[in-house]
Amino acid sequence: MRTILISLMILSTFLPLANAQVADLKGWKVGLATADITPQKPMWLAGYASRTKPSEGAMHPLWAKCLVFEDAQANRSVLLTLDIVGIGADFSQKVRTAISKKAAVPMANILINCSHTHSGPVLDHVLTSIYPLDKDNKAVIASYGTWLADQLIQLSVRAVKDMEPVQLFAKNGVSRVQVNRRANQEKDIDKLKELKGPNDFAVPVFKVQTLSGKLKAIVFGYACHPTVLSGYQWSGDYAGFAQIELEKLYPGTKALFFQGAGGDQNPLPRRTVQLAKQYGKSLAASVERVIEEEMKPLPASFKSAAAGITLPLTTPPTLAELQKIKQDAGSGYIYEWSSNLIDQYKQGKPLLSNYPNYPIHVWDFGGQKLISLGGEITIGYAVKLKEQYGEDIFVMGYTNDVMGYIPTELVLEEGGYEGDTSQRAYGLPSKWAAGIENQILSTINDLINKIQ
């Protein structure tokens, strides 16, 4: 009897530890991998039609960073963040298909987010018609794209190998770097007494912490164009400086930035390195505050749903109208855009009447929802989604395919660059048709209901 009692006492002593270990095994696992994706030879920088030559060195490295999440039921998801202006549908499909196979992750559970820095390299099928590219330039771009795709695929493999038990937390911070560029003109910014909106100043933050308490990764987002800089050096712009600052604050930790609904938001004033650093430090301070405060722990449960919908375009211009536009343009990206469409007419190829497979994803990390959309989504989407689903949701744009600006119905009606003419920069024949906002929002609602 005494032997039995002693055995029971020993067993009771180790049961809490055993239970804790079992609980840990049933919690989150996360793997991390990063790669320097700075081009090794001069290339055209993406984002500004005003540039006249390829790159001239780097201000700091450009990065691709990958997190693989696994919940208690072994459901995996992959988040890749890139210091790139955008990726096209074909590139995205190729990379995500390979990652799905190599990392054993469903396609719906893979997001590739682009920071939209305007100081990163040009990729095929994203704004390429706005640059004066010759045959050699195009060959360099194609070669870099092939190399980058392989880097991203390998990142997912490395991240899977790095997986370890972690705790996952989430919370929104706030930063007032963004300025609505439609409502506030850059030339007047120093004189304005009051800035107009709409805006969404939220800074969504995920904290990934090992069971020993070590900070493994910080994932943070913001809705604002990285357009402080417009020179010829590679740079992640303010978002790059924010990541650098956070990795200095937390040595050994990797910081991943994702772009939100920043289609009509700019950092103003801008155009100097000092301002880019200032905005980066300001954003990093907002993240630091969130990290140091109490954050919401997320249970190890992951759900997702995804859809690809067809967005209609308005009637394209006639051949005569395009010829007039080309003549009036004389040069520049409007000239290139109209020339390309004229060539399609002459070859008997029909112009696009819609855009197929616009990507929408809804992820749920233990109750923390993340809504992801393709394209340059304008801030009105974040505002409306938060009105519908609560201020705590995370909204991500520029993901899996950047095919153009995605205006709300109001922006479409108002016109201007984001609502009317910006599609030309992306090679689309005409602007979006009325009703796309309702299509997008109703699809999101369907996806959220699907995973409730």
CA distance 424 to 387: 32
Does any domain span residue 309? Answer: no
Does any domain span residue 371? Answer: yes
Res 370: pLDDT: 98
Do residues 178 and 266 lie in contact, with contact meaning Cβ atoms separated by under 8 Å?
yes
Does any domain span residue 366? Answer: yes
Tokens 């744009």 correspond to: 397
Quick one: 193 and 330 in the same domain?
no
Quick one: 337 and 231 in the same domain?
no
Quick one: 223 and 332 in the same domain?
no
Res 452: pLDDT: 87
Does any domain span residue 6? Answer: no
Q: Which of 388, 407, 426 is the last residue of a domain?
A: 407
Res 13: pLDDT: 41
Does any domain span residue 443? Answer: no
Res 180: pLDDT: 97
Vertex 388 angle, CA 384 and 389, to 5°: 115
Quick one: 140 and 247 in the same domain?
yes
Does any domain span residue 435? Answer: no
Residue-number span of the structural domain to which 323 is assigned: 317-346
Quick one: 393 and 256 in the same domain?
yes
Number of domains in the chain: 2
Quick one: 234 and 365 in the same domain?
yes
Quick one: 271 and 341 in the same domain?
no
Q: What is the pLDDT along the chain (452 residues), one digit of tens a residue?
A: 444 444 444 444 443 333 334 334 489 999 999 999 999 999 999 999 889 999 999 999 999 999 999 999 999 999 999 999 999 999 999 999 999 999 999 999 999 999 999 999 999 889 888 888 899 999 999 999 999 999 999 999 999 999 999 999 999 999 999 999 999 999 999 999 899 999 999 999 999 999 999 999 999 999 999 999 999 999 999 999 999 999 999 999 999 999 999 999 999 999 999 999 999 999 999 999 999 999 999 999 999 999 999 999 999 999 999 999 999 998 888 999 999 999 999 999 999 999 999 999 999 999 999 999 999 999 999 999 999 999 999 999 999 999 999 999 999 999 999 999 999 999 999 999 999 999 999 999 999 999 98
Quick one: 298 and 336 in the same domain?
no
Does any domain span residue 354? Answer: no
Does any domain span residue 9? Answer: no
Quick one: 387 and 269 in the same domain?
yes
Res 14: pLDDT: 40
Quick one: 217 and 185 in the same domain?
yes
Quick one: 338 and 191 in the same domain?
no
Quick one: 130 and 242 in the same domain?
yes
